[in-house]
Amino acid sequence: MNFASAPSLLAAALLTAAAGPARAQNRVANYGYGQPGTADYEHFSFWTNNGRRSDIHYAHGKDRVDNPLRYGGASRVQGQAGFKVRFENGRILYVVPSGTGLLVRASPTAAPKTFAWEYEGPVNGVGTACSVCVADATAAATLLRQHYLR
């Protein structure tokens, strides 16, 4: 072994060890409404990091214009457990997990839009695997109930 290269090998090993568990702790549940690539499309990504609620993103439209959201706290909407998400401009949406989907409302009394879990990964061998994405709709619903309803 060349001892001159030992520090760089050690640094690389430490970086790999440090980065591996952190990536493994991130999880994301993705939900969509409408057809991707159209003007009416809407998408939510709910993230956890180290078992704690973290980032929320909302994207919409053909070009998926991204908007970071803030968690607005737990709420009850028409008797169901849910939570609020807040846009940077102060707009609030009410999110209620329902089965494996989401009911999203502009106000507690507004008619909901039903969002379904979205698979992120290769289709027929084409595309990139998403290592942080939850595996299925049941896992996505569980992630939301465990980390966003409290």
- Per-residue confidence in pLDDT tens, the chain, 150 aa: 444 433 333 333 333 334 444 444 799 999 999 999 999 999 999 999 999 999 999 999 999 999 999 999 999 999 999 999 999 999 999 999 999 999 999 999 999 999 999 998 887 788 788 999 999 999 999 999 999 998
- Residue 75 falls inside a structural domain: yes
- Residue 17 falls inside a structural domain: no
Q: Phi/psi of residue 12, each to 5°?
A: -65, -40
Residue 103 zone, left/alpha/beta (φ > 0; ψ -120 to 50; rest): beta
- Residue 19 falls inside a structural domain: no
Smallest CA-to-CA distance from 42 within 140, 143, 118, 120 is with 118
- Residue 80 falls inside a structural domain: yes
Query: How many domains in the chain?
Result: 1
Two structure tokens written together for 42: 């809407």
Contact assessment for residue 105 and residue 97, using Cβ atoms and an 8 Å cutoff: no
- Residue 93 falls inside a structural domain: yes
Q: Which domain holds residue 38?
A: 25-147
- Residue 15 falls inside a structural domain: no
- Residue 18 falls inside a structural domain: no
pTM of the shown model: 0.81
